Amino acid sequence: MRTTSADLHTLTGAYAVNALSDLERTAFEAHLTRCQSCAVEVTELAATAARLGAAVEFLPPPQLRARVLAAAAETRQLSPHTARVPDPRRKRWAGGLLAAACLVAAVFVTVDYSQSGQERQLAQLSSEYSRFSDFLSTPDAKLINGRAPNGATGTAVVSASRDEALFLAKDLPQAPDGHTYQLWLIGADGPHSAGLLDSRSSPVVVSGLTGAQEVALTVEPSGGSKAPTTPKVMAMPLA
Amino acid sequence: MPERERALQSLQSTPRDVGPTADDLLALVARGDEAAFERLYDVMAGSVFGLIRRVVRDQAQSEEVFQEVMLEVWRTATRFDPDRGSANTWILTLTHRRAVDRVRSAQAATHREDRAARLDPARPFDEVSEQVDGRLEQRQVRRCLSFLTELQRESVLLAYYQGYSYPEVSSLLGIPLGTVKTRMRDGLIRLRDCMGVTG
C-alpha cells in the first residue's frame, strides 16, 4: 500500500477524524496549504465530524466550572497572530520552497505499511522529514530547477552553508532495462558521482558541494558508472 | 387572533432564547472577556465533556482532559480564525485532538491490546443509537449514520469515538489501509450531505 501525492486528497476524511499519525498530519497540513479544494473539503468534513461530537453531549461534574473559570482568570492568553513582515531576500524563494516542501512532503508520505516494517519505516520517514525541514529553515537555502527535453523536471534545494543539496525529480520516464539514473556534481575537475536515483520520485541528499558548478543527471548501466557515459538528461547550475 | 399572537411571540422570543452563539462569544473571549468565557463554558461544556468522555472513557482522566481543553480554548481564542470554520467546530476539533492524544499517550499504549480486544466493531453505532434520542441534533446524526454503508460507518465511528488511527481501524476491520481511508472520506461526505453541513 503506497500513498502518493495523487491520493493525498483521500486523506481529508482520516484527517478530519484525527486518524493520522503526527507525521502524516504534518505532511498533510503542508499539502493543504497548496491544495485549495482539499482545504475546503477538510473544513466541511471537520464540521461534519464535530456534529458527531455534539451528538454525545454529557454534562461535566458541576464543580469543574468554578475550577476552569478560576484557572482562566490566572492564565495569560496567547498574542494574536500578526502579519509577517516579508524579507525581500527570502521572498524570491518562498513560493518555490513551499512548492518543494509540499512535493517532498508528498513523497515522504510514501510509506509501505506492511505490519512488520511499519515502525522502522515511520522512524525513517520521521528522520527524513526532519532533515528536509532543517533544509528549508537554513537561511541560505535556495531552490534551483531543471527541465529535461522530455518534460521531466528536477528541483534541488541547495544550502552552501550545509554543503548539501536535496534533489528531487518529477515525471522522469522509466530508465531503459538494465539502466538507472545517476546524479553528478560537475566542477572544474570534472564530474563526481552524487549517487543513484533509487526511485524516480524519491528525494536524494547530495553532500560535498564544494567546487561543484552544476548538478546533472544521466542514464547509466545499473549499478552506476565512474564517469558519465551518456549525454546529460538534465543539468542545473549551482552558482 | 391568539394564533397570530403566538406567531408574533415566537418570532420575538426566538432571538432571546437562542442567545449569543459560540462564534459571538469566542470573539469576545479572544479580547479577554471573562464573562463571555463563562457563557461560552455553559454553551460548550456538555459537547466538550461528552466527546472526551466518549473517547477517553475513564471519568477521572476525562475530567482532567476537559479542564485542559477548556483552558486551551481560553488561552488560544486569539488564534481562532472564523474564515476557517465555526467556533463550535474549532472547539470540538481541538477537543477531539486532545482526547485522542490522551488515549494514544505512552501510558495508554500499554492498554491498547486489551482495549482492542474488548472492542466489538458494531458497538460504536449501538452506543450512539442508545445515547441519541430526544434532541433534534442527535436524531439527525443517528438518521444520517443509517445512510452509510457498514464499512463507512464503522471506519468513521471507530476513528472518531474510539480514537483509533486508520492503520488500527484497518487491522480491526481486516480491510486494506487504502480502503479505510476512502471509506472514512466517503462516509463523512455522505454524512456532510445528509446533514447539510457547509463548513
B197: domain CATH number? 1.10.10.10
Better-scored residue on pLDDT, A120 or A64: A64
The verdict on A126 and A167 lying in the same domain is no
Q: What share of chain B is helix, strand, coil (3-state, %, to 5)?
A: 80, 0, 20
Which residues of B are less than 8 Å from A79 in CB distance?
A: 78
The verdict on B95 and B47 lying in the same domain is yes
A215: domain CATH number? 2.60.40
B55: domain CATH number? 1.10.1740.10
The verdict on A22 and A97 lying in the same domain is yes
Q: Could you tell me if residue B35 is inside a domain?
A: yes
What residues make up the domain containing B57? 16-110
Which among A104, A137, A170 is the end of a domain? Answer: A137
The secondary structure of residue A165, as a DSSP letter, is: E
Instruction: With cut-offs at 50, 70 and 90, classify the pLDDT of residue A158.
Output: confident
Contact A78 B164 (CB under 8 A): no
The verdict on B179 and B139 lying in the same domain is yes
- Tell me the mean pLDDT in the region A126-145: 63
Kindly report the backbone phi and psi dihedral angles of residue A215, in degrees, each rounded to the nearest multiple of 5, phi listed first.
-105, 130
CA distance A132 to B8: 64
Contact B87, B108 (CB under 8 A): no
pLDDT of residue A23: 72
The verdict on B104 and B48 lying in the same domain is yes
Cell digits for B130? Answer: 442508545
AA identity, residue B15: P
- Tell me the mean pLDDT in the region A15-41: 85
pLDDT of residue B9: 46
Contact B98, B163 (CB under 8 A): no
Is A58 in CB contact (< 8 Å) with chain B? yes
What residues make up the domain containing A233? 142-237
pLDDT of residue A234: 85
Count CA atoms within 13 Å of residue A178 on its CB side: 1
Q: Could you tell me if residue B10 is inside a domain?
A: no
Contact A13 B89 (CB under 8 A): no
Residue B125 to residues A227, B33, B130, B131, B152, Cα–Cα distance (Å): 64, 39, 9, 10, 12
The verdict on A184 and A218 lying in the same domain is yes
CA distance A96 to A161: 19
The verdict on A120 and A191 lying in the same domain is no
Q: Could you tell me if residue A107 is inside a domain?
A: yes
AA identity, residue B114: D
The verdict on B54 and B122 lying in the same domain is no
The verdict on B23 and B106 lying in the same domain is yes
Contact B96 A47 (CB under 8 A): no
Alpha-helical segments (H) within B19-109: 22-29, 34-56, 59-76, 87-104, 106-109
The verdict on A225 and A117 lying in the same domain is no
The verdict on B165 and B98 lying in the same domain is no
Kindly report the backbone phi and psi dihedral angles of residue B99, in degrees, each rounded to the nearest multiple of 5, phi listed first.
-65, -40
The verdict on A188 and A219 lying in the same domain is yes
Percent of chain B with pLDDT over 90: 65
The verdict on A15 and A126 lying in the same domain is yes
Angle between helix A36-54 and helix B150-162 axes, rounded to 10 deg: 80
Which residues of A are less than 8 Å from B166 in CB distance?
A: 14, 19-20
The verdict on B136 and B103 lying in the same domain is no
Q: Could you tell me if residue B127 is inside a domain?
A: yes
Digit-coded pLDDT (tens) for B117-133:
444 444 444 444 444 44
CA angle A43, B167, A127 (to 5 degrees): 85
Percent of chain B with pLDDT over 70: 75
Nearest to A75 among B51, B75, B96 (CB): B75
Residue A7, classified by CB atoms within 10 Å of its CB into exposed (0-12), middle (13-18) or buried (19+), is middle
Q: Could you tell me if residue A76 is inside a domain?
A: no
Contact A18 B163 (CB under 8 A): yes
Q: Could you tell me if residue A202 is inside a domain?
A: yes
Which residues of A are less than 8 Å from B41 in CB distance?
A: 65, 68-69
pLDDT of residue A87: 43
Which among A99, A120, A137 is the end of a domain? Answer: A137
Which is nearest to B152 in space by CA: B129, B126, B128, B121? Answer: B121
Q: Could you tell me if residue A162 is inside a domain?
A: yes
Sign of CA pseudo-dihedral A169, A174, A176, A180: positive
The verdict on B98 and B20 lying in the same domain is yes
Contact A71 B177 (CB under 8 A): no
Q: Could you tell me if residue B157 is inside a domain?
A: yes
From the CA of A8, how many Å to the nearest CA of chain B?
10
| Residue ranges of A 127-166 with Cβ closer than 8 A to chain B | none
The verdict on A28 and A110 lying in the same domain is yes
Which among B110, B142, B163 is the end of a domain? Answer: B110
Pairing of strands A212-221, A142-147: unpaired
Better-scored residue on pLDDT, A153 or A134: A153
Which among B82, B110, B138 is the end of a domain? Answer: B110
Nearest to B50 among A20, A49, A56 (CB): A56
Which among A77, A107, A137 is the end of a domain? Answer: A137
Residue of B nearest to A59 (CA): B46
Indicate the number of domains in chain A.
2
Contact A61 B53 (CB under 8 A): no
CA distance B154 to B128: 12
Q: Could you tell me if residue A78 is inside a domain?
A: no
The verdict on B48 and B126 lying in the same domain is no
Instruction: With cut-offs at 50, 70 and 90, classify the pLDDT of residue A198.
Output: confident
The verdict on A167 and A231 lying in the same domain is yes
Q: Could you tell me if residue B192 is inside a domain?
A: yes
The verdict on A172 and A132 lying in the same domain is no
The verdict on A121 and A187 lying in the same domain is no
The verdict on B121 and B105 lying in the same domain is no
- Tell me the mean pLDDT in the region A138-145: 67
ipTM of the complex, rounded to two decimals: 0.82
Neighbours of A1 (CB within 10 A): 13
The verdict on B129 and B98 lying in the same domain is no
Digit-coded pLDDT (tens) for A92-113:
444 555 555 555 554 444 433 4
Kindly report the backbone phi and psi dihedral angles of residue A222, in degrees, each rounded to the nearest multiple of 5, phi listed first.
-45, 140
Indicate the number of domains in chain B.
2
Is B46 in CB contact (< 8 Å) with chain A? yes
CA distance A108 to A133: 12
The verdict on A38 and A108 lying in the same domain is yes
Q: Could you tell me if residue B5 is inside a domain?
A: no
Q: Could you tell me if residue B182 is inside a domain?
A: yes
Which is nearest to B158 in space by CA: B61, B88, B54, B58? Answer: B54
Q: Could you tell me if residue B1 is inside a domain?
A: no
pLDDT of residue B68: 96
Kindly report the backbone phi and psi dihedral angles of residue A23, in degrees, each rounded to the nearest multiple of 5, phi listed first.
-65, -45
Digit-coded pLDDT (tens) for B19-69:
789 999 999 999 999 999 999 999 999 999 999 999 999 999 999 999 999
Is B19 in CB contact (< 8 Å) with chain A? no
The verdict on B99 and B118 lying in the same domain is no
Q: Could you tell me if residue A75 is inside a domain?
A: no
CA distance A172 to A150: 8
